[in-house]
Amino acid sequence: MTAFQLGPLLYEGKAKRVFQTDQPDLLAVEFKDEATAFNALKKAELEGKGALNCRISALLFEHLQRSGVPTHYLGVQGLRWMLVRPVRVIPLEVVIRNLAAGSLCKQMPIAPGVPLDPPLLDLYFKDDAYADPFLSEARLERLALVSSQERLELEALARQVNTLLLELFAGIGLQLVDFKLELGFTADGQLVVADEISPDTCRLWDLDVADAKERILDKDRFRQDLGGVIEAYGEVLKRVQGVIQGPSTYK
Ligand code: UDP
């Protein structure tokens, strides 16, 4: 590593480790090869996943930033390290759904693949101890994680991200079915997109493939034991690399 010295481990999550650096306004995120699903009930080591997600996420953050969406991203270093601005992450998972899939189809009489227009925006409380529950309006208000103004702002930002990513993925033959965002505030109070945007956090279907299982190019391959997880993530990276320059090395 150059340009900064790695400091102590600040936080270890299921897919990433976050380290302090010798600079107060810089954190280093290491993407791990560990895959987890169902609140970590299912676990596996998938060699190469960390590097793929780091690269895909970096390219998507660069695309969003070039389109005017503020993010915590600053650059990459090596294959699996991302440099980011420190952010106070809001403990909310902001999910946007363009087509019905996953938990939505388990909780409502709606078939997988049904288009949702306008896209559905669901908020979940990000806390493993409670298994990330869906939040009603009343519960969201009771938790008081964000003001009503901040909530409007974060929902608008998430919808802007959806519009940009839907278009980007459509251009490379991928349907963005749904995805999860985490947002936070920088030290100077700016709301930014944080965490990662990768096949671990997005559902992506190959538009050229009709078969409901074969078309899956995201973490559902792992969740459903379909195999070919790394190959699918590699295909996503290959296509994204075809249309986005980068990622830039942090200097
Ligand atoms: N998601 C995520 N982290 C979570 C929960 C969901 O990244 O803790 C993503 C998931 O990959 C999908 C979208 O958010 O792209 C919607 O997930 P859903 O609510 O359908 O839950 P799931 O079926 O993953 O349990």
pLDDT tens column, 159-183: 999 999 999 999 999 999 999 999 9
The CATH number covering residue 170 comes to: 3.30.470.20
Distance 131 CA to ligand 1 centre (A): 12
The rounded Å distance from CA 181 to ligand 1 centre is: 10
Same domain? For 121 and 194 the reply is: yes
Please name the residue whose Cα sits nearest to atom 3 of ligand 1. 201
Domain presence at residue 244: no
61 touches 197 (CB < 8 A): yes
Local confidence band at 3 (pLDDT 50, 70, 90 cut-offs): confident
Does 233 map to a domain? no
pLDDT band at 225; cut points 50, 70, 90: very high
Q: Lowest-confidence range among 2-16, 61-75, 80-94, 203-217?
A: 2-16
1 in a structural domain = no
CA distances, 114 to each of 30, 62, 110 (Å): 36, 30, 7
In a domain? residue 240: no
Look at residue 158 and give its three-state secondary structure.
helix
Atom of ligand 1 nearest to the CA of 126: 8
Mutate to test the pocket of ligand 1, among 180, 202, 236 (most ligand atoms within 8 A of CB): 180
| CA-closest candidate to residue 89, choices 32, 51, 127, 130 | 127
**Domain end position, chosen among 84, 107, 122:** 84
Percent of the chain residues topping a pLDDT of 70: 99
Are 102 and 217 within one domain? yes
Based on the domain organization, do 75 and 114 belong to the same domain?
no
Domain membership of residue 54 as a residue range: 6-84
CATH code for the domain of 42: 3.30.200.20
Range of lowest pLDDT (36-40, 136-140, 223-227): 36-40
Minimum-distance ligand 1 atom for the alpha carbon of 201: 7
Mean pLDDT of 210-227: 98
Within 6 A (CB) of ligand 1 lie 93, 95, 101-104, 132, 178-180, 201-203, 219
In this structure, the answer to whether residues 65 and 140 fall within a common structural domain is no
Task: Establish if 236 belongs to a structural domain.
Answer: no
The alpha-helical segments, DSSP class H, found in the chain are: 49-66, 103-107, 137-143, 148-170, 220-223, 229-243
User: What distance in angstroms lies between residue 110's CA and the mean position of ligand 1's atoms?
Assistant: 17
For ligand 1, the distance from its centroid to the CA atom of residue 125, given in whole angstroms, is: 12
Residues 93 and 185 in one domain: yes
Query: Would residue 251 count as lying in a domain?
Result: no
Distance CA 131, CA 126 (A): 8
CA of 144 to the centre of ligand 1 (A): 23
Residues 106 and 207 in one domain: yes
Residues 93 and 55 in one domain: no
For the CA of 39, the nearest atom of ligand 1: 8
Distance from residue 240's CA to the centre of ligand 1 (Å)? 21
Q: Is residue 249 part of a domain?
A: no
For ligand 1, atom 24: residue with the closest CA? 102
Give the span between the Cα atoms of 237 and 215, in whole angstroms.
Answer: 15
Residues 6+ apart with CB under 8 A from 212: 112, 113
Task: Please determine, for residue 1, whether its predicted confidence score (pLDDT) is greater than 70.
Answer: no
Please check whether residues 188 and 97 belong to one and the same domain. Answer: yes
Q: Are residues 70 and 14 in the same domain?
A: yes
pLDDT at res. 2:
63
User: What average pLDDT does the structure give for the chain?
Assistant: 97
Q: Are residues 103 and 165 in the same domain?
A: yes
CA 21 to ligand 1 centroid distance, Å: 31
CA-177 nearest atom, ligand 1: 15
Q: Which strand (E) or helix (H) includes residue 28?
A: strand 27-31
- Boundary of a domain, candidates 52, 84, 116: 84
Count: domains in the chain: 2
Rounded to an integer, the average pLDDT of 57-77 is 98
Residue 124 CA, ligand 1 centroid: distance in Å: 10
Q: Could you say which of 68, 84, 100 is where a domain stops? A: 84
* Ligand 1 atom at minimum distance from 218 CA: 11
Do 51 and 131 fall within a single domain? Answer: no
103 DSSP assignment: H
Residues 137 and 196 both lie in one domain: yes
Structural domain contains residue 234: no
